[in-house]
Amino acid sequence: MNTIPLRRRPLLALPALSAISTLAAALALTVGASVAQAQSTAPLRIILPVGPGSGVDVIARSAQLALSKALGGQPVVIENLPGAGGITGTQAIVKAAPDGNTIGIVSNNHAVNPSVFKKMPYDGIADLTPISVVGGSHFVLVVNPAKVPAKNAKELQAFLKAKPDGYNYGSSGNGTIIHLAGEMFVDAAGVQIRHIPYKGMGPMISDVIGGQVELGVAAVQAVQSHLKSGTLRAIGVMGKQRAASLPDLPTIAEQGFPDVDVAGWFAFVAPKGLPPVQVKRLHEAVVAAFNDPEVKAAMLKQDNFINPSTPEAALQFFKTEQDRYARLVKKAGITLE
């Protein structure tokens, strides 16, 4: 690089250089202050509106160390606050200070609750700041092979139509996404079948295996071993895409029911009013954490698919999900106190 000796520079240039240096210093201080404001020495608290050992809990703990690393070593603490279909924990997220030290992970029930509960203590869209819809998991329609001879969705439809109200399907509880997934197939197939709610997916799966109910919808990872042993038979994947762990199992939509489209999803959110610098910081950390090779391997093992969205796309996704579940809830007549 060629340099000009100082003695050859016009004297008038010196004040200009001084002004530029002053401006650069001021900008550096401003940027440094913004970065410092975004950083935190306090632990990042992640509130989960679900119990320990649930699918969302396993996801959060799989990414905990990677998220801490992405945040520059900031400790990450996970807190389970289950209850009321996720309302208890989500309310704690809503009430937290918007300082970037408290976030949460919500899933499908977050979009379902406004339609099934007569009163909500918060607005699931207006009272939260979306960070990212990170990914999800596949649901599968399963039957007891000793009770149901059907091997695909059309055969199941014919089997159920032959004896209206003669069979039962189980769910993980009234108003849950598993309940709505079952209703989605019932509506699309035009069949009549009694809904039996359980207190969780585990008891429901046990009763499908035991023959107390003939069929149900479950997360793929929750029934993998039963599908391999033959105690359950998979009819089809409930979403639009096949599950990586069951590549030969077609979706229900592929089998002639295009309106059946439901998959589990999970998203990071923060309290309302989170400053943009904090939204950016947390979004980048979440994306980095779920791109970590070890986390990606853990997600694949759990049959989760990962495709982090932007905060803006997450907001639109929440609105779309809430609207479509509202229509299904109204059609099925589902209400909770």
DSSP result, 169-197: EEESSTTSHHHHHHHHHHHHHT---EEEE
- List, run by run, the mean pLDDT of 10-residue segments along the chain (337 residues): 37 35 42 48 94 92 98 97 93 98 97 93 97 97 98 98 95 92 96 94 96 96 95 97 95 97 97 98 98 96 94 98 93 82
> What is the spatial distance between Cα 131 and Cα 98, in angstroms, rounded to a whole number?
13
Backbone φ/ψ region at 159: left (φ over 0), alpha (ψ -120 to 50), beta: alpha
The confidence score (pLDDT) of residue 337 equals: 66
Q: Is the pTM of this model over 0.85?
A: no
d(CA 250, CA 76): 39
Q: So what's the pLDDT on residue 12?
A: 32
According to DSSP, the residues that pair with 106 across neighbouring strands are 267
Per-residue pLDDT, 218: 95
Question: Across-strand partners of 197?
Answer: 171
| Structural domains of the chain sorted by starting position, each given as residue range(s) with its CATH number in brackets | 44-136+264-332 (3.40.190.150), 139-237 (3.40.190.10)
For position 19, what pLDDT does the model report?
A: 40
CA distances from 216 to 55, 204, 219 (A): 18, 8, 10
Q: Residue 39's pLDDT is what?
A: 61
Residue 104: closest CA among 80, 122, 72, 120: 80
Cβ neighbours of residue 21 under 8 Å, at least 6 residues apart? Answer: none
